[in-house]
Amino acid sequence: MISRDEIAGVLARYDKNKIAIGTLCSHSALQILHGARQEGFRTVGICTRDRVALYNSFPQARPDEFIVVDKFSDMLSEENQELMHKNNVILVPHGSLVQYVGPGNVRDKLLVPMFGNRATLEWEGDRALQRKWLVGAGLKMPEEYANSTVINKRVFVKFSGARGGSGFFTADSKEEFDSKLNDRIKTGLVSIQDAKNATIQEFVPGVRYYFQYFYSPFEEPTGQSMAGRVELLGIDKRVETIDEAYRGLPNVPEEFFDYTITGNQPVVIRESLLPEVMKMGIDTVGNSVKLFSPGMQGAFCLETVYHPKSGFRVFEVSARIVAGSNLYPQGSPYSAYLFKEPMSTGRRIAREIRTGIGNGRLGEIVY
């Protein structure tokens, strides 16, 4: 992995008065670019040719400068990295960066300062490490089964990588597991390699909540285990085809049994549950500091299922801005209590970079 010193070296050559915020034109780029603009930054969009028209069509989010590529992974070329250096670019990573450029390439080949802690990529990308991180933080996760022979209740089967729920399924027995998995391999939905590495989890019934947090080392501490503040910037719920399965009643067509994420809905949660929501965020940051100091920096999301009888169960952590935050370019029902002005996650990131430039601590929040 590219070292902190190497990134510090690049950052040292940057003109701090001309820092630009850059991102890949996908995922949450409109929000990131809009937020950067609100905080007075110049912006750079790394964009494939076919998307330039789209990003040009939103004047309040349009990047000041495009770096046009044939495919997103071309951002790694020497020429494009030099262009980013010349523009004093700090990159804001998101799910599409990881998906299209590859976590290994981002860790090892992208010598451009990125907002947050690059080391978290390794922890969020590996389900075993995620479990160590979250369970170690005292959070409850769904039980996991080593293989299909031990299935004795409903399970949820998932595949690795940022695939947005595509191909995931439920099963009540080993026979059902085998049959559904084979169907998916046959149609090419799931590769043999992915099938071998499938994660078999306890199916968790309840309501899904996706909590969008932000951790800032520059604000007054919220917990004893850390030096900064955990902010709840918003909550969403993903929209998946399965959510509308009732529309096919009484004989629900097979196509409805699809967990692919297609959008997001805003939600608020009962206020009496907020102490626990905050505690989960604080403990997640606290344990990250112990495991990979300086730990989680900036935006992250805990993806949970809540049931009144069993409480919150966390099935995933995203250690960066999530697409659900696209709901709140003008702030959320929670950011309103943190900031006087409309504060999206994208703008919050830009504000943090601005603060880091001002207090000379940029190196702590960029790696």
What residues make contact with ligand AMP under the rule CB under 6 A? 142, 156, 158, 165, 168, 201, 203-204, 208, 238, 240, 259, 303, 315-316
Contact 155, 177 (CB under 8 A): yes
CB burial of residue 228 (10 Å; 0-12, 13-18, 19+)? buried
Cβ-based nearer residue to ligand AMP, 41 or 211: 211
Contact 155, 201 (CB under 8 A): yes
Cβ-based nearer residue to ligand AMP, 85 or 180: 180
The full length of the chain comes to 367
- Distance between terminal CA atoms of the chain? 11
Contacts with 78 (C-beta within 8 Å, 6 or more apart), sequence order: none
Query: Encoding tokens for residue 50?
Result: 């076919």
Cβ-based nearer residue to ligand AMP, 123 or 315: 315
In whole angstroms, the minimum distance from the beta carbon of 34 to ligand AMP comes to: 26
Cβ-based nearer residue to ligand AMP, 203 or 257: 203
In whole angstroms, the minimum distance from the beta carbon of 158 to ligand AMP comes to: 6
In whole angstroms, the minimum distance from the beta carbon of 327 to ligand AMP comes to: 16
Residue pointed to by tokens 């802690």: 117
Residue 342: is the preceding peptide bond cis (ω within 30°)?
no
In whole angstroms, the minimum distance from the beta carbon of 10 to ligand AMP comes to: 33
Contact 281, 232 (CB under 8 A): yes
In whole angstroms, the minimum distance from the beta carbon of 354 to ligand AMP comes to: 32
In whole angstroms, the minimum distance from the beta carbon of 121 to ligand AMP comes to: 16
Q: Where are the beta strands (DSSP E) in the chain?
A: 20-24, 42-48, 65-69, 89-91, 144-145, 155-158, 169-171, 199-202, 207-216, 229-240, 261-266, 298-307, 311-318
Cβ-based nearer residue to ligand AMP, 91 or 317: 317
CB atoms within 10 A of CB 152: 10
Contact 364, 353 (CB under 8 A): no
Cβ-based nearer residue to ligand AMP, 206 or 363: 206
Query: Encoding tokens for residue 5?
Result: 């010193």
In whole angstroms, the minimum distance from the beta carbon of 324 to ligand AMP comes to: 10
In whole angstroms, the minimum distance from the beta carbon of 206 to ligand AMP comes to: 8
In whole angstroms, the minimum distance from the beta carbon of 82 to ligand AMP comes to: 36
Contact 26, 55 (CB under 8 A): no
In whole angstroms, the minimum distance from the beta carbon of 124 to ligand AMP comes to: 11
Contact 329, 346 (CB under 8 A): yes
| CA pair distance 267, 334, nearest whole angstrom | 11
DSSP β-ladder status, 42-48 and 144-145: unpaired
Cβ-based nearer residue to ligand AMP, 74 or 243: 243
Cβ-based nearer residue to ligand AMP, 158 or 348: 158
Q: Helix and strand tally (H, E) in the chain?
A: 13, 13
Cβ-based nearer residue to ligand AMP, 69 or 98: 98
Cβ-based nearer residue to ligand AMP, 156 or 256: 156
